Amino acid sequence: MPRRSLDPLPAAAFHILLALADGDKHGYAIMREVAEVTDNKVRLGPGTLYGSIQTLLDAGYVEETDERADPEVGDARRRYYRLSSVGRTALKAEAQRMADLVRLAKSRKVLKAAHV
Amino acid sequence: MSERLYSLLLRLYPRAFRERYSAEMRQVFRDRLRHEAPLRVWTDVLGDALVSIPRQHFISGPHPYFPPLAAPLHAAVQAMLIRAFVASTICAISAAAMSVARSFWSVPVFVIASGVLLRTLWKAGCMSRAIRTYVAEVGDDSVTVSCAGLGMAPVTLRRADVTAVHVFVKTGLRVQTADPSRDLWVPENVPSYADLKARLSEWAPVTVTPWWQGMWQPPDGVGLAVSCALALLLPMSFASGYAAGSVLVLVWVIAQGDGKRLLTWTDPRSRRFALSLLPAAIVLVRWML
């Protein structure tokens, strides 16, 4: 079956990896974190969220974990996801690519320094 | 009530995706309802469903010849053209031969209608969107296949993993393993394909399948519903030609290796195969009435 390409990382996949960068999370926690850090500009719907997670799992960028990072919402029914080392490398590469683009935009005076 | 409606919405996702994620998606839905206004949750969910349901169907559509890894362009285009040609030819010939094509215009109608019935065959063409450069490394006790530039982890199979090898002439080969999720598809144009095939044949029994076998896929729910509607609503002369075309296609399928398995009810597609006779049955009932 066809798989979604992760090169370059789609926006949803990038946000998910970013949300997992500081610890394991379940689906709803990822969704909440993405909405919070983007001031609700990016809201991942459940289909997009789990579709992206599936793609990231297939690619080995994230892995499921049985450990419960957040005991308050720890629930045996929930699946938690963890950023793998391959995923962290891909996340770094994508962030670097974006940083390079921003630097380029600044050098062409598309962005002012205050915006960056 | 809200959750029940959401469960119904989840049924629109492909079965494999649903089985894997529906419990989690329902949990997320419950969580959101606890913290957010229902209207907002439903707006988000419906908007997301409009995009993610077709995408998941595209991603997880049945590709009997192109399973786990994507196939190269020439194989995909070749397969699509062959299948489109076979389906169109059969439908057109059947329509003409039955002499129910009382006007010239009925022939394209048969072709289009049968195309709907056979629409799963078109998906082979979608593979062109997933072109990747394959690299195969053949070792003494292991083979590794990777997609260069994709950034995905290479797939490595060892001698002990391989249970069978299915070679599809002019297309590629499928390496069967004890765990079906680890089955590996290797297209024929991989540079070291010959070495790979030779090595795998030392490890496991090889079956060779002609390109024309297994081309037929039973229609899914939508295809079947459209076919039944056509059988019910088309003028009788058109509908009977359409039904005849469909039956001819199914007879042709039965004559293939796959069809024999379908008839013995040992294939998971058997039920859908039987259901695909429904349009023809509707036309028969109309004719009898």
- Answer yes or no: do A6 and B151 touch at CB < 8 A: yes
pLDDT of residue A32: 92
Q: What percent of chain B has pLDDT over 70?
A: 50
φ and ψ at residue B63, rounded to 5 degrees: -135, 80
B132 vs B139, more confident: B139
- Chain A nearest-CA distance from B138, in A, is 22
Distance (Å, whole) CA B9 – CA B16: 15
Model confidence band, residue A50 (pLDDT cutoffs 50, 70, 90): very high
Model confidence band, residue B104 (pLDDT cutoffs 50, 70, 90): low
pLDDT over 80 (residue B21): yes
Alpha helix (H) residue ranges in chain B: 2-10, 15-35, 38-59, 73-97, 106-117, 193-203, 221-233, 236-255, 257-263, 270-275, 278-288
Substitution target in B18, B19, B28 with the highest count of A β-carbons within 10 Å is B28
SS3 assignment, position A32: helix
- Chain B nearest-CA distance from A16, in A, is 15
pLDDT over 80 (residue B136): no
Model confidence, pTM: 0.46
pLDDT of residue B100: 54
Residues of chain B contacting A79 with CB distance shorter than 8 Å: 24
What integer is the mean pLDDT of B146-158?
A: 61
What tens digit of pLDDT does each residue of B261-277 get?
556 555 555 666 677 77
Exposed / middle / buried, residue B215 (Cβ in 10 Å: 0-12, 13-18, 19+): buried
pLDDT of residue B282: 82
- Give the pair of three-digit tokens for residue B12: 């629109």
B207 vs B255, more confident: B207
Residues of chain B contacting A26 with CB distance shorter than 8 Å: 24
What tens digit of pLDDT does each residue of B200-238 get?
988 988 888 765 554 445 556 666 777 777 778 877 766
Which of A36-40, A74-78, B8-12 comes out lowest in average pLDDT? A74-78
What tens digit of pLDDT does each residue of B63-79 get?
333 333 333 444 445 55
What tens digit of pLDDT does each residue of A93-105 get?
888 888 888 888 8
Which of B41-45, B183-187, B199-203 comes out lowest in average pLDDT? B183-187
Spatial contact of A22 and A69, defined as CB atoms under 8 Å apart: no
B window 130-159, beta carbon within 8 A of A: 130, 149-153
Asked if A10 is an interface residue toward chain B (Cβ–Cβ < 8 A), one would say no
SS3 assignment, position A63: strand
Which DSSP state fits A61? Answer: S
B111 vs A3, more confident: B111
What tens digit of pLDDT does each residue of B174-185 get?
888 887 667 777
Residues 6+ apart with CB under 8 A from B146: B134, B135, B137, B152, B153, B154, B155
B241 vs B8, more confident: B8
Model confidence band, residue B130 (pLDDT cutoffs 50, 70, 90): very low
Query: Half-sphere exposure of residue B218, counting CA atoms within 13 Å on the CB side?
Result: 20
Nearest CA in chain B to A90: B151
Asked if A46 is an interface residue toward chain B (Cβ–Cβ < 8 A), one would say yes
- Answer yes or no: do B56 and A48 touch at CB < 8 A: no
The dihedral sign for the CA sequence B271, B274, B277, B281? negative
pLDDT over 50 (residue B149): no
pLDDT over 80 (residue B163): yes
pLDDT over 60 (residue B151): no
pLDDT of residue B65: 33
Model confidence band, residue B87 (pLDDT cutoffs 50, 70, 90): low
